[in-house]
Amino acid sequence: LPLLIFLGLTANIANATNRVAILLQNVAAVAGFRRHGVFDGKIGAFVALPAVLGAAAGASVAARVKPDRLERVIGVVLLMVLLSLLMRPQRWLQEASSGQQRFDACWRNPAAYLRQWPVYLAVGFYAGFVQVGVGVILLATLVWVGRMDLVRSNALKVFVILWCAVAATAVFGMHRQIRWDVGLVLSVGNMSGAWTAAHLAATRGSEFVRIVLILVLAFSSFKLLGGVELLQKLVTA
């Protein structure tokens, strides 16, 4: 997303165009989980329904936000994702998932399920609005609120994000804010990047990927929040 902005797209066009790549990337991810037999379509539909409604609302709001304001919002979000990486959230996620059943009884209880609607609606709204870092947020929600194990949560995460991306892409498309040529080229990178990331994780370890993300997020949030412009003013003063 910040790369699209750095390449010259306004923040709202970049935010919309990025959804095309997110959509196709998660199509490939869902297919992979289905092949491994860890995806449950029924639970996925339960979670995705409120999330998709929230995503459509979030995208509608984002489509009306002025580009310069949206750029600052994205910068703050990237900074928050950076802080979450520095705090190593994967540790508490793994601890929370230990000993939990894959399919909690609450999913068979309509009242318990409806009590979770506001949470998934809010996560969906955020996914529709800006998308950045929603994977970590949704994964934590599925573990803590849905009480599922980490493997199943990962499978549900990509399924829910896929359908949120469908809703957001439709909304941004209606507002004519998508650069389809850029989005499709980016999609090729996203889908091939999934394979590359898996290879790097196997050969270099997750800490290598985490360090790369920290560096990218630190620079991106610094630039989007006006840090580069501030340095330029200090240098030329």
Per-residue pLDDT of the chain (237 residues; tens, 9 = 90+): 888 888 899 988 999 999 999 998 888 877 777 776 666 677 778 888 999 999 999 999 988 888 777 777 877 877 877 787 777 655 545 544 443 444 455 556 667 667 788 989 999 998 899 887 787 778 777 777 776 666 677 778 888 999 999 999 999 999 999 999 999 999 998 888 766 665 565 567 667 767 777 887 788 788 778 787 788 788 876
Q: For all residues of the chain together, what is the average pLDDT?
A: 78
Q: What is the dihedral of CA 150, 156, 157, 160, to 10 degrees?
A: -160
The Cα 25–Cα 89 span in angstroms is 23
Sign of the four-CA dihedral 168, 170, 173, 175: negative
Q: Which residue type does 76 have?
A: V
Write the pLDDT tens digit of every residue in 164-184: 999 999 999 999 999 999 999
DSSP state of 105: G
